[in-house]
Structure 1
Amino acid sequence: MSGWTAADLPSFTGRTVIVTGANSGLGEITARELARVGAKVILAVRNTEKGDAAAAKMTGAVEVRKLDLQDLASVRAFADGVTGQVDVLVNNAGIMAVPYAQTVDGFESQIGTNHLGHFALTNLLLPKITDRVVTVSSMMHLIGYISLTDLNWKSRPYLAWPAYGQSKLANLLFTSELQRKLAESGSPVKAHAAHPGYSATNLQGQTGNPIGTRLVKVGNRLATDADFGARQTLFAVSQDLPGDTFVGPRFTMWGPSGPTLRSPLARDAKKAAALWDLSEQLTGTKFAL
């Protein structure tokens, strides 16, 4: 598997995959490649016009549906509109290091979009999912710290990058606790996470911070392309892996795709369980199996 690429994807004919944030960047490539190998792909996007434009460039069975992860009512409406089974859910959408803002439900926007929106979506869809849930995290989870008493930055001075790191750490703790619950319930569904390394996508150009945006644009000169980043997600979506596998490039930013390491904080089972309980309270959704 050392040279695995999207060209090695197996057939997904007859399978249904939902990809959030699939109108651009890693999500668009993930959706494109899965549609290419026969999947029915639902592009779950906030901006359906952009989703339609992305879908027009794809081959195969592609459908665009409205999903705003910053609005739990939209998440519920999307989940209610999904009929039949879903083989794979890819929690890909995200925002990075943006200025402080709140979601419709009053969550800090990064934890709200990157974690709580996907947490709710996964729980609402779980009875329909047959194979796996893949959540896109980041190596920036290494700078993350989960504050269970101030998850939404109400009392701490807001810092964009630590807030992003917290949300990406939350992705990994969510994946671990989801896998524990799935195994405990006897479900065959698996939970995996992936990180792209450092891929140059439109995400890095939308921090809303002029200095931060300039820095990431300089960093993009050393970055891999979006196809490489999406390869990590596609590996997690398609390969036979143990539950709670975290997939990424072997050498952090470059190298073959495969299981990779996570920080000690991302292996804290007690924090994962506590974050799950808090996320249930905040979103009004529960593990449904």
Structure 2
Amino acid sequence: MSGKWTTADIPDQRGRVAVVTGANTGLGYETAKALAERGASVVLAVRDVEKGERAAARMTGDVSVQALDLTSLDSVRTAAAALRSRFDRIDLLINNAGVMYTPRQTTADGFETQFGTNHLGHFALTGLLLDRLLPVPGSRVVTVSSTGHRIRAAIHFDDLQWERSYSRIGAYGQAKLANLMFTYELQRRLAAHGTTVALAAHPGVSNTELVRNAPAALRMPVTWLAPLITQTPAMGALPTLRAATDPGALGGQYYGPGGSYEIKGHPRLVTSSPQSYEVAVQQRLWAVSEDLTGVKFPAARSQQHSVLPEPAATV
């Protein structure tokens, strides 16, 4: 493998099935495209099927589209049922879709939009598809987080839906912190099975459509400085692709760009915030997420004392 990990390092994916959420544009598109080019059968799980079909037409390989609206648990259940009927096995589930810095809105089920979409929708989808991954040695669940999990971030159990007051940045931080806590707790629960592992990744600062909902005070500097502080969606997708395909990647690891402050660069192992590793909070969030979504996972109970791989600054 080269010193700087690229799509050329992705092993042959022929015979593997990959489901990528939010894959009609940006990071998800580049992730799905790279997997299809390496031979995977890729499903673009997207809210807008027409846009998904257009994205699929621009890719090479076995690519199909599945309707999925993460803001609706009914849609998540329908999509999961359709995927289960199509596939006896799933090798990769990449929880990529997300929204960022939206005005306060609620999902069809009454959840704050960023928490409901980025965390609860993916939590439910993973739980409903997990029995298609568990029998498959080497299968992986990769969830895309963000450096935003460090910014004004906490799991506000006393007001998860931000009904008392609302902060776009704080709500995004909570959702992205939840993505990591979900990954680490899922890995603990999967460890006993020995087949499926859970990892996380973040894209650094990538030039995608996500920034469109950012407050003007933040959006304008990012737009002006984009050539200096952002990287292309293709580069931003590399941490996700490495987490999904690198034979040396281990459950519970977190990948991000290797440059200064993890803003851009080729992917490497990185470390998330100290609070993201708090086991008691992870387990409480898991229980609350099961209650809110009504989805129970077919995995072993969490092992309180199991150890996640030690993060390391390696290439």
- Asked if these proteins are the same fold (TM beyond 0.5), I'd say yes
Which TM-score applies when normalising by structure 2? 0.88
SS at match of 1:29: helix
**2:170 is paired with a residue of what secondary structure?**
helix
- 1:233 is the counterpart of 2:215: no
Q: Secondary structure at the match of 1:288?
A: coil
The one-letter amino acid of 1:277's match is A
Structure 2 match to 1:25: 26
Count of aligned residue pairs for this structure pair: 286
One-letter amino acid of the counterpart of residue 24, structure 2: N
Identity of aligned residues (%): 47
Specify the alignment match of 2:250 in structure 1. 242
Q: Which residue of 2 aligns with 1:181?
A: 189
2:206 maps to 1:199: yes
Q: Provide the C-alpha distance between the structure 2 equivalents of 1:148 and 1:43, rounded to a whole number of angstroms.
A: 33
Q: Within 2, Cα distance between the matches of 1:186 and 1:20?
A: 25
What letter matches 1:228 in structure 2?
Answer: M
CA contact under 8 A between 1:2 and 1:257: conserved in structure 2? no
Query: Distance between the aligned counterparts of 1:113 and 1:107, measured in 2?
Result: 8
Structure 1 match to 2:102 = 98
CA contact (8 A) 2:199 2:251 kept: yes
Q: Secondary structure at the match of 1:60?
A: coil
Match of residue 312 from structure 2? none
**Aligned CA-pair RMSD:** 1.2
Deviation per CA, 1:194-232: give whole Å up to 9, x if none. 00011111111244x444432432342321111110011
Matched, 1:190 2:197: yes
CA offsets 1:229-252 (integer angstroms, 9 cap, x no match): 001110001012121100011231
1:257 is matched with 267
Greater mean alpha carbon deviation, residues 246-255 or residues 33-42: 246-255
Gaps in structure 1 of 5+ consecutive residues: none
1:85 — aligned with what?
89
TM-score (norm 1): 0.96
User: What are the superposed Cα offsets for residues 119-166 of structure 1, whole Å, 9 maximum, x if unpaired?
Assistant: 0000000000130100000011001111112111112x1010111011
1:149-168 paired onto structure 2 within 5 Å: 149-155=158-164, 157-168=165-176
* 1:128 alignment partner AA: R
Letter in structure 1 aligned against 2:112: E
Q: Which residue number in structure 2 is paired with residue 214 of structure 1?
A: 220
